[in-house]
Amino acid sequence: MSNQRLGKFLGGFVLGSVVGTVVGLLVAPRSGKETRRLVKKSAEALPELAEDLSTNVQLQANRLSESALRNWDETLIRLKEAISAGLEASQQQQTLYKPEAENHLPESAKTTGER
């Protein structure tokens, strides 16, 4: 599971838990006083849940950022290697075919250096 999907899953899980708890409290067969006490207790727990969710999202964002930087660095290295290999191959081809190309030039171009 990717980090992004995991973060979405955990966020949905926490939100679903909160909504489920509130709905469960409201439809449970309890006295009004007891239900209000449970709702108050749940409401007091919300800041802690929000802080936990915020911390989790921050950790996931840091992991994604670090992963993106690593991937970017690796991509740059591969790109530089590919460019270097392409330049080297081009120079080898020029060296290989330069004498053959000069053989096909007209005599006037060979003596004057024109092409």
16-22: which pairs have CB atoms within 8 A and are 24 or more residues apart?
Answer: 18/42, 18/46, 18/49
Phi, psi of 2 (to 5 degrees): -70, 160
Other CB atoms within 10 Å distance of the CB of residue 7: 19
Q: Say which residues have a Cβ less than 8 Å from residue 56's Cβ, sequence separation at least 6.
A: 7, 10, 11
Domains of the chain, residue spans:
3-112
Model pTM score: 0.41
Q: Say which residues have a Cβ less than 8 Å from residue 98's Cβ, sequence separation at least 6.
A: none
pLDDT tens for each residue of 25-81: 677 777 778 877 877 887 888 888 888 888 888 888 888 889 899 999 999 999 999
Q: What is the mean pLDDT of residues 98-115?
A: 62
